[in-house]
Amino acid sequence: MDFFIHKLATGNSDALSHLQFEKFSRGVFSNRAIVQCKSSPKGYSIATTHEYANEFVRFLAGKLGERKTKVSGVIVSTKPLPPNISYESISQFMGIKKYSIEKELSGRELIQICDTVPRAFIGLSFSFEDNELKIKPKAPKSAKPGSDSKDGPKVDFCKLKTRNAEVVKDLFFDIGEFKQAEVNHDFVIEQIITPSDEPDPVKMREKAIRKGKIVRKLVVDGVSTVKEYAISA
């Protein structure tokens, strides 16, 4: 599985990577999709901001397959969940619905959830074999230009421990092997192309294509580099 930054940087944007940018207007959005990773003989310890939550769930669910594991956390959505997704409880604040999940699910069932509510935030934690995923069970903050604080946002919304090198190679696709690395992104949205044949303003925003670039700031074993990739999402 390709994660969304890799898709965009290689010109392979799809419906899922497009969803990551629906909320953005024109402007510069700093401190996005931050990833920190430490490599050791025991495997990889990865921490990220919220953008990778759904993708981590989907990726690990694919590895889990038909097997089941205990899953806990929340699904956050502005719309009601369809009947095929069961939950334990629901809370609501200012139109945002938070559905609590705690049950055994298979990887196939997790992927079905991701496919059924692609615009929802899937904050589900689970583990199996050498993989342990922990996602904070709360709604991520809305995207706003600039950083969350003077030092930028905390990189602890998603935590993944794994021995699967495939994850790391995709998150850090443009560097070689390392012991410790961090990548931070600025999303620079320069142009928004809206469909002329769509009268519904909500659907117009959802279908609009954002063009610009990703400024990718890497620190790899203490060495800093900056790379830029043109994007269309």
Cα separation, 67 vs 63, in Å, equals 9
**What is the sign, positive or negative, of the torsion defined by CA atoms of 4, 7, 10, 15?**
negative
β 96-106/68-77 pair status: antiparallel
pLDDT at 52: 98
For 138, the token pair is: 């709360």
Domain count, the chain: 1
Burial label for 132, CB within 10 Å (0-12, 13-18, 19+), is middle
Q: What is the mean pLDDT of each run of 10 residues along the chain (233 residues)?
A: 92 94 95 97 96 97 98 96 94 93 97 96 97 96 52 90 96 96 98 91 90 98 98 95
Counting DSSP H helices and E strands in the chain, the numbers are: 6, 11
Work out the angle between the directed axes of helices 53-64 and 107-116 (0-180°, nearest 10): 140
- Residues contacting residue 200 through CB under 8 Å, at least 6 positions apart: none
53-92 confidence digits (pLDDT tens): 999 999 999 999 999 999 999 999 999 999 999 999 999 9
Cα separation, 5 vs 135, in Å, equals 19
pLDDT at 142: 58
172-185 confidence digits (pLDDT tens): 999 999 999 999 99
Cα separation, 56 vs 137, in Å, equals 14
pLDDT at 151: 65
Q: Which range of residues forms the domain containing residue 126?
A: 4-232
